[in-house]
A and B are shown apart, each in its own frame.
Chain A
Amino acid sequence: MIGVEGLSVAIHGARVLTDVSFAVERGQIAGLVGESGSGKSMTALAMMGLLPHGARASGAVRLDGTDLLQLSEAQMCDVRGRQIGMIFQEPMTALNPVQNIGDQVAETLVIHGVASRAEALREAGKRLNRVGLPAARFPLTRYPHELSGGQRQRVCIAMAIALRPQLLIADEPTTALDVTTQARILDLLKGLVEEERMGLLFITHDLAVVAGLADRLAVMRRGEIVEQGAAAEVLAQRRHPYTRALFEAATHRPDPVPAAAEAPLLRVARVERSYPQARHSLFRRPPPFRAVKGVSFDINRGESVGLVGESGCGKSTLTRAILGLDPLQGGEIRLDGQAVTAGERMPAPLRRKMNIVFQDPYGSFNPRHRVGRLIAEPFHLTGRPDDAETRVAEALSSVGLAPGDAVKFIHEFSGGQRQRIAIARALITRPELIVLDEAVSALDVQVRAQILDLLADLRRRFGLSYLFVSHDLHVVRAITDRVLVMRAGEIVEAGPTERVLHAPNHDYTKALLAAAPELEVPR
């Protein structure tokens, strides 16, 4: 139905796509897999005629015989939405925050002149119902901020399929979502493809996501398709070395680190965290929202513990309390026997013993400072030692970067390299506990595998303890000894990682495990 034939794109003379060819048939799901920067999104934009300024495309994109590359902008406007729909990675910014969801879904219908406003709204209601937002619970007058990430992604899907397009392009549609939400969105997309007989081009960096979904699979690298064919065949045979590398990265597990002695480093006892809620009445104060409800656990010296749960379960709140950033409403946290208190009252020698690595490698650094200064920031706690520069160089080499990188600015580094710099910053004061807050969630599978190896290696060398916070049980499996499963502010299950993964006791753990996409590892 739609065929991309010899598509090449150059931006200001620089080649980004070279001779890309593939086809998507009606009722079929085609996966397009590759690391970031491989040209997956550029392919989708070229198909939609949405290339950035200065880009030149050659080749052809044939939709039922018409070459989309030859159409004028006005003609393309008619194709977009009517014949090709698209959904994006970030549901938080893909919707207009000041328009209600009914109007946004109806807009597509009104713009293409197929319905009056009243009819369009009726149709919008039907579409929203189809994507799992029934009008009884989600009236058309809801605004995006009243919905969760997964629900917003459903609205985006409803918008994209409002006109029953022949082709739906989904660009990393579940990467920003929890595993359980991801599983439901994938089910929805699969159902829609069968029901509407449309084609779906599913773009992702994660082989595991498309493995159970796609009929056909194309693997992309540096603007070229290196391998394509029936999904099962590509996954089973893995002819191209790059496909093999991707596959191994997705299932990668670093060498195990020898178990630690039973000496508690961090004790979290009956910790309570609550927030005041917004007032609805002038005279009545609503009860505070309890984000963390009496949580207790220990982390031993040299131990790596996973904390797993969906977004909103209170794991970030708990992390902030452990780091002494927010005050507790009950219970206590002891690090190395000393009580952790919030704010500047916390003694610097205690604060020195822990540090954090964040999820977003782009927001973690002040863009105006050089890497040397960024990494040296925690020296604020210890006073700047005389050999500060040597220590910075050491930290850079221990995360696999060159000491000379200290004079560069952060924008000169890729996402994976930035995450290494974040780890170097966390290591600089020689802490005992490092909190890894979704530290590998934003990374490509191959980069993720490298960072996991690095973390295991650092733990072996420095005897570090990790608190590894994640929404994905399978990432945690690779690197933790013990895992805590958190739900709605409570820890519902705790135990050795292998035991929890293979014989989960709690229903919620079972649900999490079932939702996580997994590649079958042939042994």
Chain B
Amino acid sequence: MTGRVQLYAGGMLSAVFLVAAAVSLVWVPHDVAALNIAERLRPPGGDYVLGTDQFGRDLLSMLMVGARSSIAVALVAVGIGMGLGVPLGLIAAANRGSLIDEIIMRGNDLIFAFPALVIAILITAVFGPSAVNAILAIGIFNIPVFARVTRGGALSLWTLDYILAARVAGKGPARISVEHILPNIANLLIVQGTIQFSLGILAEAGLSYVGLGAQPPTPSWGRMLAEAQTMIYTTPRLAILPGLAIVLMVLGLNLMGDGLRDALDPRLRRAAR
């Protein structure tokens, strides 16, 4: 599959979920908090496009609201990772080889040394399960990823002549980092951002599956899976639909990440021609 096709397919897949999440902010077909036992386990069709669950809640509405919380958690988590990781990486690269660089990068290694999900479970277990704690837990583990990518990209740029020219022009490391380094590693960061975003969605689904994410009655894809578990033989639709949503969203983001990398990397762009 060429980069362009990947980019469009991934972008379209992701856009479907983004639009669904955005629409759910103002309108959903049915209220997701209201239980309606009389309408329980309705098959798809009619008033309920994707049917209802064992409490009579509309599955489509739940998926839409679930997309919203998944995306919100992943987005804020990536934001935390980028917001702290990128400056740390830039600082480390600007002071390469110094004590500051050592401290930052060994701190990174320390966070990397812990299994992310286990620590996330620990954090939510200690501070109580909630969407905010899930965001924090996932966000913290994004920091070292972005710090490393940033430092790696920045290090190779620091040896270039135009950086030397900027130093001859009297510019300090902070200014050089923002003006010359950051724009030239932006493509790396965008690609890493999409990949971390999809990992964030998976992590959110995992945490809410074990009950440590968004709390009821807010629907989330992970908990929908967990609740459908007991009925997987009688009404498989209840497990298949949220599972499919997770798979398609992550697939879409990964395809988009790959496509973006091909589109933004001038070396690959040249090779494709």
**Minimal beta-carbon separation of A278 from chain B (angstroms):** 12
Pair B168/A364 contact, Cβ less than 8 Å: no
- A363-B160, A364-B161 given; A355·B168 CB < 8 A: yes
Query: Would you call A356 an interface residue if the criterion is a C-beta within 8 Å of the partner chain's C-beta atoms?
Result: yes
Residues of A within 8 A of B164 (CB): 325, 356, 358
B162 touches A344 (CB 8 A): no
Centre residue among A53, A348, A356, A366 by max chain B CB count within 10 A: A366
Say whether B184 contacts A377, CB under 8 Å.
Answer: no
B180 partner residues in chain A, CB cutoff 8 A: 366
CB–CB A358/B165 < 8 A:
yes
Which of A358-413 touch B at CB < 8 Å?
Answer: 358, 360, 363-368, 377-378, 380-381
Contact (Cβ within 8 A) A344 B168: no
By size class, the interface of chain A is 20 to 34
Residues of the B chain whose Cβ atoms lie less than 8 Å from the Cβ of A360: 161
Please, which residues of chain A bring their CB within 8 A of the CB of B175?
Answer: 380
Complex contacts, A40 vs chain B, CB 8 Å: none
B107 within 8 A of partner (CB): no
Question: Is A205 positioned at the interface, with any CB of B under 8 Å from its CB?
Answer: no
Expressed in whole angstroms, the minimum distance between the Cβ of B169 and any Cβ of chain A is 4
Q: A381, B170: Cβ atoms under 8 Å?
A: yes
Does A321 sit at the interface, judged by CB under 8 A? no
Which A residues lie within 8 Å of B170 (CB)? Answer: 344, 346, 348, 351, 378, 380-381
Among B161, B162, B165, B169, the residue within 8 A (CB) of A381 is B169
Q: How large is the interface on B (under 10, 10 to 19, 20 to 34, 35 or more residues)?
A: 10 to 19
A86 at the interface (CB under 8 A from B): no
Does A293 belong to the interface (CB within 8 Å)?
Answer: no
User: Quick check: is A152 within 8 A (CB to CB) of the other chain?
Assistant: no
Whether the Cβ atoms of B184 and A356 lie closer than 8 Å is no
Indicate whether B9 reaches chain A with its CB closer than 8 angstroms.
no
For A356, the chain B residues whose CB sits under 8 A away are 164-165, 168
Tell me if A455 is interfacial: C-beta within 8 Å of chain B: no
The residue in chain B whose Cβ has the minimal distance to the Cβ of A346 is B170
B166 contacts A by Cβ under 8 Å:
yes
* Cβ-based interface call for A323 (8 A): yes
Tally A-B pairs: CB < 8 A. 52
Does residue B171 face the partner (Cβ distance < 8 Å to A)? yes
Contact A365 B169 (CB under 8 A): no
Q: Which residue of A lies closest to B166 (CB)?
A: A377
- The CA-CA distance from A368 to B160 in the complex, in Å, is 14
B162 is contacted by which of A348, A351, A366, A378 (Cβ under 8 Å)? A366
CA distance A368 to B184 in the complex (A): 7
- Does B172 reach chain A (CB closer than 8 Å)? yes
The smallest C-beta distance from A358 to any residue of chain B, in angstroms, reads 4
Bound complex: CA of A367 vs CA of B160, how far in Å?
12
| Complex Cα–Cα for A355 and B164 (A) | 11
**What are the residues of chain B within 8 A of A54 when measuring CB–CB?**
273
Establish whether residues B172 and A364, one from each chain, have CB atoms under 8 Å apart when the complex forms.
no
B184→A351 contact, CB < 8 A: no
Closest to A382 in B: B170
Q: Tell me whether B184 and A367 are in contact (CB under 8 A).
A: yes
Interface residues of B in 136-165 (CB under 8 A from A): 160-162, 164-165
Report A-chain residues with C-beta under 8 Å of the C-beta of B168: 323, 325, 351, 354-356, 378
Docked CA distance A378–B166 (Å): 7
CB atoms of A363 and B169 under 8 A apart = no
B4: interface (CB < 8 Å): no
Flag whether A425 is at the interface (Cβ < 8 A).
yes
Q: Which B residue sits closest to A365, measured CB to CB?
A: B162
Q: Which residue of A lies closest to B266 (CB)?
A: A367
Are B172 and A363 in touch, CB under 8 angstroms? Answer: no
CB of B236 within 8 A of chain A?
Answer: no
Of B172, B184, B273, the residue contacting A344 (CB under 8 A) is B172
CB-based contact A364/B169 at 8 Å: no
Write the nearest CB–CB distance from A323 to chain B, whole angstroms. Answer: 6
CA distance A354 to B168 in the complex (A): 8
- The reply to whether the CB of B30 lies closer than 8 angstroms to some CB of chain A is no
Interface residues of A in 269-327 (CB under 8 A from B): 323, 325
- B161 and A378 form a contact (CB under 8 A): no
Tell me how far the C-beta of B239 lies from the nearest C-beta in chain A, rounded to whole angstroms. Answer: 47
The verdict on A364 contacting B184 (CB below 8 Å), with A377-B169, A378-B169, A380-B170 known, is no
Q: How far is the CB of A54 from chain B (nearest CB, A)?
A: 8
Q: How far is the CB of B68 from chain A (nearest CB, A)?
A: 35
Residues of A within 8 A of B172 (CB): 344
B183 within 8 A of A: yes
A54: nearest chain-B partner, CB-CB? B273
> Once the chains bind, are A366 and B184 in contact (CB under 8 Å)?
yes
Contact B171 A363 (CB under 8 A): no
B180 nearest in chain A by CB position: A366
CB contacts (< 8 Å) of B166 on chain A: these are 377
Are the C-beta atoms of A358 and B161 separated by less than 8 Å? Answer: yes
Distance (whole angstroms) from the CB of B66 to the closest CB of chain A: 39
Look across to chain B and name the residue whose beta carbon is closest to the beta carbon of A431. Answer: B168
B269 within 8 A of A: no
Residues of A within 8 A of B161 (CB): 358, 360, 363-364
Which residue of the partner chain B has the closest CB to A377? B169
B165 touches A364 (CB 8 A): yes
State in angstroms the CA–CA spacing of A381 and B166 once bound together.
10
A429 to B184: give the CA distance in the assembly, Å.
Answer: 26
Q: Which of chain B's residues has its CB closest to A362's CB?
A: B161
Sample 6 A-B pairs with CB under 8 A, ordered by A number.
Answer: A344-B172, A351-B168, A358-B161, A358-B164, A365-B162, A377-B165
Name the 3 nearest CB pairs between A and B, nearest first.
Answer: A358-B161, A378-B169, A364-B161
